Structure 1
Amino acid sequence: MVLVLLQVLVCVLFVAISMRDLLNGEGAGTLLSSQPFFDPQVSFPSLLAILPLLCFSFPGFDAVTTLAEETIEPEKTMPKAVMLITLLGGTLFVIVTYFAQLVQPNFQAFSSPDSAGMELFMQIGGNLLSAFFLAVVVLAAVASAVASGASGARILYAMGREGVLPKGFFGYLSPRFRTPVWNIIVIAVVAMMANFLDMLTATALINFGALLAFVFVNIAVIFHFYIRHQQRSGKGIILYLLLPLVGALFTGVFWMNLGATALILGGCWFLVGLGYLLYLTKLFRQPPPSLHFEEAESFN
């Protein structure tokens, strides 16, 4: 909560100082402009070219769902948490990006795209604001790593507990701490591999899996609610057919535009998973293990 408040405070300071500079005639010299949302000089292929970076930057808002079994009334709490995280993060991103575009319309003025945020904070707020921004960024990175490690270890534990992965290793809990220690170590080792990967390779691996998973999540919603449980009222058609269908189509388009590197590396990883599935099901002669949760499903 403290970190969230600090991030909000940074955004508020940035917006306030940006408004002051814009009212003084700096940057675009106006508080209202459509240019941050639509620039005729930016082509659609150029937008598609940055999709891998965008997809790499934003997955993770759903990681909170991995702690559903430790949550009171998860069927009510988790959907609200995911929506609040998405709305809060999305709102802050849009507002900050909007004012950043107005304050510095010329993106080529930055010495490096990787440090553009730092340069912008230095430009409008000097050393004090840029130092505060850097401190919050470091704290956010650490918090993100801890949250990602916890969620990844929790998923591996659930898969080990249900026999999807070897139970003796992945389903083990420390008798003293009651935590999946081996899974935490596995996540840490995998995370350390980032030191040996360039941004292109890391982006390719993550985007392939994330976008493909999102496609199948949308398809699963259609099969589970609309087809199997026949949620076919007016509300059901919108929520369980049209929206997930649109989501699957858009995500599928993004997935197909990831580029050759992502498709080759991700395809190799997919084949490894397929091979393990064939071994687990004895060439599909028996059903694969499934995850079971303590909370019973309920439908409106």
Structure 2
Amino acid sequence: MPLNIVHDTDGLPRIILTEPTGSSAEVLLDGGQVISWKNERREELLYRSTKAIWKPPKAIRGGIPVCFPQFGNFGSLEQHGFARNRLWSLDSDPSPLPLANNQSSVDLILKSTEEDLKTWPRRFELRLRISLSAGKLTLIPRVRNLDSKPFSFTFALRNYLSVSDISEVRIEGLETLDYFDNLMHRERFTEQADAITFDGEIDRVYLSTPSKIAIIDHEKKRTFALRKNGMPDAVVWNPWDKKAKALPDFGDEDYKTMLSVGSAAVETPIVLKPFEEWRGHQELSTVSSSYCSGQLDPYKVLYGFH
């Protein structure tokens, strides 16, 4: 089936993915970025800033930006790398993944340009498959080394999630883990809380995380389940009030209704030999959860839903 590509009022071409139950996703070729994911009730599941800047090559604040070949300032390049500021192309040859000919998947590709080689002299192909199914959004990133020598990189998919009230949200699955605290010069700490809750700014990279993490939104009675492979770390970010006011592309009050929980490979860079390929896998799904009868069992969320 042909891809549905539309041009909205902002002029940026976007790909619309739909599936039979009525959910949808929107993907920009600019940055290879998912900017919308709606459930079958047309509720937006991803956060997008009320002050988002829609001018390439500026990455849009929200959705799911792709951070490559560097995440954060863990390297010499611009923060979060350059992939999110480049124009991607449709990928006509996503092998060895099987061709996705239905309307609910799209394959994108970003290749190194001569301009990129000046700042990061490595020849690569970065591919991204985005697939939509009922209650689920799957991203499969792949990086291939086209150079004659090995190179290393860090990587992240930053998932900006829409929540009802940040003070009513908790994350389960990161207890007892070590993390880098970016608010404390990347100093390493160990998480002491039973679950992560929010009452101020947070900017952390949790290390060696499990493949499943639950983001539980009490007020919306909804849980996001994040499943990931090939990206052992998890990025947790909320700017809170002061930082929100200082960021030009972030609404002053937006911090109350968003939380970024991303899949990442940061602590240990990925090393690729010539013509070797790395593949990651991320699956975001939603589960309805009721709190009338007491606590939701996080293990049911993490292990009981497929």
Name the TM-score, length of structure 1 as normaliser.
Answer: 0.26
Q: Radius of gyration: which is bigger?
A: 1
More strand by share: 2
Name the TM-score, length of structure 2 as normaliser.
Answer: 0.26
Bigger relative CO (Cα 8 Å, ≥ 6 apart): 1
